[in-house]
Amino acid sequence: MKPSTHKINRTNTPSRSLENKMKGIQIAVIMALGVLAAGCSNVERSRDLNNASVSPAVTAVQVCSNCHGVDGNPKSPNFPRLAGQQEDYVVTQLKNFRNHNRSDPEGFEYMWGLSRNLTDEQIAGLAKYYAKQIPRHHEEVLDPQLVANGKEIYEKGVPEQNVIACISCHGDKAQGIGAFPRLGHQHADYIEKQLDVFQNTQGRPGTAMEFVVHPLTGPNKQAVAAYLQSFPE
Amino acid sequence: MNSTMFDRLRVNFLGLLILGVSLLTSFSAQALPAFARQTGQNCVACHAGGQFPELTPYGRLFKLTGYTMGSRAIPVSAMAVASVTKNANSSLAGPKDGLPVLGTGSVFLAGKITDNVGIFAQGTFNSYGGDSGYQTTWGSDNFDLRFADRFIDANSDLIFGFSLNNNPTVSDVWNSAPAWIIYAPTMFGTSGPDSGPVVNGLGAQVAGLTAYAMWDQFLYAEVGAYKTANGAFSFLSQGTNDAGQTKLAGSNPYVRLAVTHEWGPHNIMIGVFGLDVGIHADPLDLTSPVTKFRDRGVDAQYQYLLDPHTVSAQFSYVRETTGNGIASGYSTNDSNTLNSLRIKGTYIYQAKYGASLSYFSTTGTTDSGLYSGISATNSPDTQGWTPEIFYTPIQNIRIGLQYYAYQKFDGASTSYNGTNNAKDNNNAFLYVWGAY
C-alpha cells in the first residue's frame, strides 16, 4: 500500500547512483544467506509440519497450541478441547482430516492443511499427548435449568422422541471410550455445531451419530451441549 | 452521493463484475495465496472474518513466529485491485474519474525459509505512481523479514524475534497500528487530505531493525531503530528516486508496548507506541537542517470471533509534535502539533458479507508556512466518515464499495482552499480485489 502523503520538502532531481551499484551485491548476499539458512533446522522448537523428525510433543506446543492450548483446554470456543480426549478418537479424526474424509467447515478450513503431511507415528504421538492432559472445568456459569435438561437427555435420552441416552456410548463421566470421544467439559458451541454437522450434512460420514442425532430438536441440542460444557469436576 | 454518481457506478460495476468473474475463473484452479499454501488452511484461519489484513489471534501467532509454521511451499503470490473512483466534484477528480482502472498489482515473496526465518515482501505496481512524482510504477511495498524462536511449555510461553522492515508498525500484529488501520484496498486515483503524522508516511522510504517479544500471549514489547533505506538497504525503497525519498538523520528509535487478553470468543488489546525521527530539509543534502518529529500513539482493538459472526473494532490516536521547524524551513512556527484519531468498527457474517464504518479526525496547530497553498485557514484539520460494504464470494476475491464523506478538509468545512468545500472531496470507491 502506498504511504500517505506527508508534507516534507522535496525536490525532483532523479539521482540513484549508489543504489544501482549496490543492487547486485545485495542480491548476491541475500541469496547466499538464503542458501545458508535453508540448511538450518531446529527440530527441538520447529513449527515445520513436513518433517518426520519433529516430535509430536514439539508440534503440539509449537503449532497445535495456537488454537487448542498447550494443555488442550483452549479459551476460544472456535476450537475443541482436546485435554483427556480418547487416543483412538484423535487418531481417527486426524487421519480423517488428512484423507479429507471429515469435511465439516472448521475441519476443512483449519485441519486439512495442517494434517496433510503428518506421519502415522506423529498422529499417534499427538493423540497420546492430548490424552494425558487434564480437562479443566469451565468458569462460565450457564442457565441451570438448561443444564438440568441437558443432564436428563444425556443420562436418559428422550424415549418419546426416540433419542437414545448419550451416556450409553460416551460414559457416565462423559469420558468416552475408544472411538467414542470424551464430551465432558467440551465447549457448548462446538458440541452444538458438530451435532448440526451430523444432523444436516455429510461432513462426518461413517459414524453412528448420523442416526442417533436425527430426532434431536434444536432446544435439546442446546441443552445437552450446555450440560457437557458445565460438566462437574 | 448524487444520482449521476450512482448511474456511473452502475455502468462500471458491470465491467468490474466481468473482470471479477474472469479473476474467479483463473484463481479457482488453485485458490490459495502463499501463506495459505504453506499452512494448507483457509484465509479465515489467520484473517478475521476472512478480511485482509486484520489478523485473528492465530494469525498474530503465525506472524510473531516468523511465518515459519507449516510446510515449505512455493513462496510467491500475486494480488490485484480493479476499481472505479467517482469524485463528488469533477473539478477535483483524477484523470480516470468514473472509469474502471487496474489500480494496483502486487507480487509477494512470502513464506517460511527455515525453521526460524520467514519473509513477507511485497512489490507493487502502481498505475498512478508516476503521476505523483512519489513513486515510479513499480516500487517496494511492505517488507518484513523475520527471525523468530519460541520457548513454550506448560508453564510459560516466550516468543521473540527480529524484524527487518521498511515501515514503522508494519511489523505489528494488530489492525489498530498505523500501517494497518487504513482501508485495504483504499480509494485510488484521488487525493486525500495533505496532513498526517509522519508514522503514516515512511513506508518504503526507511529501513528498520526491530527486536520483539511476546510473553505468555499477554505482554508484547518491541524496540527498534529506523534509518534511510539507501545504500545496502535501497532494495527496501525501490521505485522512489533519491530526490523524492524522505531522508532520516541517523538512527531513529521506535518503541511499542501492548497488553492483550483473550476470553471465550473475545480478545482485546491496548497498546502504546512512540517514534522519534529527524528528517533532512533537503533530501539531496544530508548536511541540511533537520526537522524533528515525535509521534506518540495509543491504540486498542477488540475482536469477537465465533462462526458465523465476526465483530471487530479499532481505536487509534496519534499525537505528533514537530520541532526545529524554523531552522529547517519546514514551518513558520518552530514547533507544531498534529493529532490523528481513527475509530473503525466492522461486522462480517459467514466470512462473506461485511460492513464497516470508520471515523477519522485530524486536528493541529495552524501554521502559515506549513499549510500555505493547501489551506486558506492555514490549518490541517480534516474530519470525516468512511462507510464500506463488501462481499467475499470466495476467500480470495472481495468486492467492495467505500464512500469517503468529509466534514472538514485541509482546515475548513467551506472554502478550505478559497474555492472548494470539504464535501467536494467526497468520493465513492468500488473495487474488485483478488489474490492468488
- If asked whether residues A97 and A119 sit together in one domain, one would say yes
In whole angstroms, give the CA distance from residue B272 to residue B292. Answer: 20
The answer to the question of residue A32 being in a domain is: no
What's the number of CA atoms in the CB half-sphere (13 Å) around residue B151?
7
Cβ A38–B113 below 8 Å, yes or no? yes
Kindly report, residue by residue over A69-88, the tens digit of the pLDDT: 999 999 999 999 999 999 99
Tell me: do A109 and A179 sit in the same domain. Answer: no
Residue A205 and residue A127 share a domain: no
Residue contact B243–A75, C-beta within 8 A: no
Q: How close is the nearest chain A Cα to the Cα of B192, in Å?
A: 8
Q: Do A113 and B40 touch (CB under 8 A)?
A: yes
Averaged pLDDT, A201-219: 93
- Cis previous bond, A219, omega within 30: no
b/e code A91-120 from CB counts within 10 Å (16+ = b): bbbbebbbeeebbbbbbbbbbbbbbbbbee
A225 and A184 fall within a common domain: yes
SS3 B172: coil
Residue B66, SS3 per DSSP: coil
Cα B379 off chain centre by: 24
Q: Are residues A111 and A177 in the same domain?
A: no
Same domain for A178 and A207:
yes
Give the model's pLDDT for residue A26: 56
Residue A170 lies in domain: 144-229
Q: Look at B200 and A26 and tell me if their CB atoms are within 8 Å.
A: no
**Looking at the structure, do residues A149 and A176 belong to the same domain, yes or no?**
yes
**Best mutation site among B74, B115, B160 for testing chain A: the one with the most A CBs within 10 Å?**
B115
Cis link prior to B185 (omega < 30° from 0)?
yes
Cα dihedral A192, A193, A194, A199 in deg (nearest 10): 90
**Quick one: closest CA in B to A11, which residue?**
B243
A67 touches B58 (CB < 8 A): yes
Q: Is A61 in contact with B152 (Cβ distance < 8 A)?
A: yes
Which of B61, B114, B198, B235 is the best substitution to test chain A (most A C-beta atoms within 10 A)? Answer: B114
C-alpha cell of residue A227: 450440560
- Residues 6 or more apart whose CB falls under 8 angstroms from that of B362 comprise B193, B195, B196, B338, B339, B340, B341, B380, B381, B382, B383
* 3-class state of residue B70 by DSSP: strand
* Residue A101 within any structural domain of the chain: yes
Give the pLDDT of residue B23: 42
Asked whether residue A169 falls in the same domain as residue A115, the answer is no
Closest chain A C-alpha to B291 CA, distance in angstroms: 9
Are B281 and A9 an interchain contact pair (Cβ–Cβ within 8 Å)? yes
pLDDT number for residue A40: 62
Q: CB-CB: which of A1, A61, A109 is closest to B44?
A: A109
Provide the shortest C-alpha distance from residue B3 to chain A (in Å): 30
Q: Does residue A2 sit within a domain? A: no
Same domain, A148 and A224: yes
**Residue A21 located in a structural domain:** no
Question: What is the rounded distance in angstroms from the CA atom of residue B151 to the CA atom of residue B3?
Answer: 59
Q: ipTM for the complex? A: 0.88
Chain B residues lying within 8 Å of A3, measured CB to CB: 167, 200-205
Question: pLDDT (tens digit, 0 to 9) for every residue of chain B, 436 residues total?
Answer: 444 444 544 445 444 444 444 443 333 323 337 888 899 899 999 999 999 899 999 999 999 999 999 998 889 999 999 999 999 998 888 778 888 988 888 999 999 999 999 999 999 887 766 555 444 578 899 999 999 999 999 999 999 999 999 999 999 999 999 999 987 787 776 778 889 999 999 999 999 999 999 999 999 999 999 999 999 999 999 988 899 999 999 999 999 999 999 999 999 999 999 999 999 999 999 999 999 999 999 999 999 999 999 999 999 999 999 999 999 999 999 999 999 999 999 999 999 999 999 999 999 999 999 999 899 999 999 999 999 999 999 988 999 999 999 999 999 999 999 999 999 999 999 999 998 8
CB contact at 8 A, B427 and B386: no
Evaluate whether residue A5 is within a structural domain. Answer: no
- Average pLDDT of the residues in A202-206: 92
Number of structural domains found in chain A: 2
DSSP A61: I
Rounded to 5 degrees, what are φ and ψ at A76?
-80, 130
Q: How far is A89 from A85, CA to CA, in rounded Å?
A: 7
Q: Do A7 and B42 touch (CB under 8 A)?
A: no
Q: In this structure, are residues B153 and A70 in contact, taking their beta carbons and an 8 Å threshold?
A: yes
Q: Do A113 and B36 touch (CB under 8 A)?
A: yes
User: Could you tell me which CATH number the domain at B3-435 has?
Assistant: 2.40.160
Q: Which residues of B touch A194 (CB under 8 A)?
A: none
- Is A75's CB within 8 Å of B263's CB? yes
CB pairs under 8 A between A and B: 202
Residues on chain B touching A116 (C-beta within 8 angstroms): 40, 71
Nearest chain A residue to B307, by CA = A78
Residue found under cell 488452511: B41
Tell me the shortest Cα–Cα distance from B196 to chain A, in angstroms: 6
Record: contact B114-A6, CB cut-off 8 A: no
- The residue from A103, A131, A159 where one domain ends is A131
pLDDT above 70 covers what percent of chain A? 83
Length of chain A: 233
In whole angstroms, give the CA distance from residue B215 to residue B235: 33
Average pLDDT of A22-38? Answer: 54
Q: Which of B114, B150, B184 sits opposite A38 (nearest CB)?
A: B114
Q: How many angstroms away from the CA of B242 is the closest CA of chain A?
A: 5
B152/A108 Cβ within 8 A? no
Per the CB < 8 A criterion, the answer to whether B149 and B106 are in contact is no
* Domain spans in chain B, listed from the N-terminal domain onward: 3-435
Domain boundary among A131, A165, A187: A131
Q: Do A7 and B194 touch (CB under 8 A)?
A: yes
- Least CA distance to A50: which residue of chain B? B71
For the record, the C-alpha cell of B372 comes out as 500555505
Q: What is the mean pLDDT of residues A194-211?
A: 93
Check CB contact under 8 Å for B243 and A67.
Answer: no
Residue A181 is part of a domain; what is its CATH number?
1.10.760.10
Chosen domain end from A65, A97, A131:
A131
- Whether residue A35 is contained in a domain is answered as no
Among the listed residues B340, B249, B251, B264, the one whose alpha carbon sits nearest the alpha carbon of residue B295: B340
- Angle at alpha carbon of residue B227, lines to B226 and B230, rounded to 5°: 135
Strand partners, B312: B303, B346
* Residue A216 shares a structural domain with residue A150: yes
Asked if residue B114 lies in contact with residue A37, where contact means CB atoms within 8 angstroms, the answer is yes
Are A77 and B264 an interchain contact pair (Cβ–Cβ within 8 Å)? yes
In this structure, the answer to whether residues A176 and A106 fall within a common structural domain is no
**Short-list A52, A92, A69, A229, CA closest to A154:** A229
Q: Quick one: closest CA in A to B204, which residue?
A: A3
Is residue B122 classed exposed, middle or buried when 0-12, 13-18 and 19+ CB atoms within 10 A define those classes? buried
Distance from C-alpha of B192 to C-alpha of B66, rounded to nearest angstrom: 34
Judge if A106 and A157 occupy the same domain. no
Q: Which of B115, B129, B306 lies at the smallest CB-CB distance from A40?
A: B115
Contact state of B192 with A117 under an 8 Å Cβ cutoff:
no
